[in-house]
Structures are given as C-alpha cells and as structure tokens.
Amino acid sequence: MEVTFLGTSSGVPTRGRNVSAVAIRLPQRSELWLFDCGEGTQHQFLKSALRLSQLRRLFITHMHGDHIFGLPGLLASLGLAGNSQGVDLYGPEQLEEYLNGVLRNSYSRISYPLQIHRVEESAQKNKVLLEDKDFLVRCTPLTHRVPAYAYRLEEKPKQGRFDIERAKALDIPPGPIYSELKQGKLVTLGNGQIIDGRELCGPSRPGASVVYCTDTLFSEAAVSLAKGADLLIHEATYAHKDSELAYQRQHSTSTMAAQTAAEAGVGKLVLTHLSPRYAPGNPITPEDLLKEAQAIFPNTILAKDFLKLEIKQS
C-alpha cells in the first residue's frame, strides 16, 4: 500500500497545506482509495503522480466542510473525464442527501456507477464494513461535535513463504507445480507421490494495515481499532498547551495522538490535521507538536502535503 497525503491542515487551507485528504494506492490491483475529500483535493491530484481515473472507493469521516467540500467537484470531474469504472462512497447518514443536493442543484451528471454506503451500523456493532478477496475495512465511532468515524484498512493474511530448498530436496521439478504448491494445494507427481503444498509453506504472514483517525478527542474506540496497525494517521489539531481548546472543540492534541499510538501498539504514527495557528514563524510550530508526540511515542513523523509512505506486508 502506498499512502499519499493530499491535505494536512485543519479547518482551512494554508499556503503550504490543503485541507483533509489521504489517498491509498493499491498497486497490485491498480486502484486508489481516498479518505476524506476537502476543498481543492482534485487540484492536489493534479500536482501529484496519482491518477484520479484509478479512484475506486472513497471514505468520509464526517460532514464538516474541510473534509467534504471537495467531493462534489471531484466526482463531477471524474464523470466528465469519462474513464471511471465506478465509485463506492462510504460515510455518515447525511452524506447521500448532501451529495445529491449539490449535484442536483448544480446540474451535474454522474455518468458512472456511484454507490453510497452508510457506515453507522458497522461502526456501532463492530461489523466489517467492507471485505473482498484481498482487503478488510472496519470503522468505529469517534468523539467529535458531529458523528465521526475512523477507518482501518488491512490486507488479509498471505500464504507463508514457499521453501524452495526443501522442494528441491524432495526432487520436485521446478515449473507450474511450484505455483500450485505455493497456494497450499495437493499435487500428485509423475511418480505417484502426493505432496501437500501447505507443508512446504511457512506460517501465514499478516497483511499491512493503516488506520485513519480524524476528528476526535482521545478515544478508547480508536485505540481498539488501531491495535497492532502498521501505520496510524491521527489528527493533532492542537498542541498540548492548548488542551482546553481541544476539549472545547473535541479535537486531539499531539499528546492525545501519541497516547493513542502507544496504547494501540502501532508501528508508526503520522500527525496530520494541524491547526493553521501553528504555522512556521508562530510561537508554536508543527515541529513543537512533533516533539511533544515523540516524547510519548518516538516513532512519530509529521505529515506534509504530498508526503508518500509505503506500507509493506510483513
């Protein structure tokens, strides 16, 4: 999985940061999944190496404008391009009414299949939101001023590594047989010997996992969703000094994000959704928020627009 940050500011865009959007490219299937779609996201696509035509699924965390104002324009442009195979859109209850209203009143036509899925039931009942042969998506409610949801995308476990040396020792000839054995199948050799491919494969390998968590106060539900994830993308709207503001507006501080990462035992934490009040040159800067988080969870980095991370399977 390749993660690209297209917007890392909170509330409003700045000169250096657009509002919320994170793209995850799945190279093995030439698909792009997008998490949130703040104003200007399609312009961010144009500045990146990502191909909007590969957009297949889109997940919205909540209905605040800095997370959704780019959605109608992006979907309309995708329709005008005429090269979309269809999009599945996931989000809160109000998402369908909002989108249909904007598209209808702007006389915009969606020329490709568009399906909208509500996430409340999956989040509240801890049910899988989406599952196909390669991936699972789960979600959970967060603590914010409006209904908001975090998402976890994970690859399904893969077959264990194939022991080629052991196969050679058993005089199994290389070729198509190896492919079947790698899949754990029973194979009958020319001499009548039956080989169980599972005995030539190591233990299954866990898939890569990414959790996207914004907007919220510190949340035990988010900790539970993020357990053992390779990457946690978490909002850090405020510095620890401004905790009172964070509680009033139900956003996280840098230390809340780090606490979530530490309790969940994730591999890496990325801070995003940073308040413009901490722009470089101000008394507190994003680097100060990073230091606060690293004091609790050392493997923390700071998101910036167009930062790209590759999350590999174990």
d(CA 220, CA 256): 11
Determine how β-strand 55-59 pairs with β-strand 21-26. unpaired
Q: Could you tell me where the DSSP H helices lie in the chain?
A: 41-47, 65-68, 71-81, 95-105, 120-124, 164-169, 176-182, 220-226, 243-249, 254-264, 286-296
Distance CA 69, CA 149 (A): 17
Q: Dihedral, CA atoms, 49, 54, 59, 64, nearest 10 degrees?
A: 60
300 token code pair: 């923390």
Choosing from 66, 215, 242, 305, which is the catalytic residue?
Answer: 66
Helix, coil or strand: residue 190? coil
For residue 39, list its beta bridge partners. none
CA distance 272 to 45: 18
Q: What is the DSSP string of 122-142?
A: HHHTT--SEE-SSEEEEEEE-
Reference 127, options 51, 225, 29, 53; nearest CA is 225
Q: How far apart are CA 51 and CA 172, in angstroms?
A: 43
- 66 included as an active-site residue: yes
For residue 292, the one-letter residue type is E
Kindly report the number of other CB atoms within 10 A of residue 177's CB atom. Answer: 18
Angle at 206 between CA 53 and CA 264, to 5 degrees: 95
Which residue in the block uniquely carries the two structure tokens 């978490």? 234
Which residues are known catalytic residues? 66
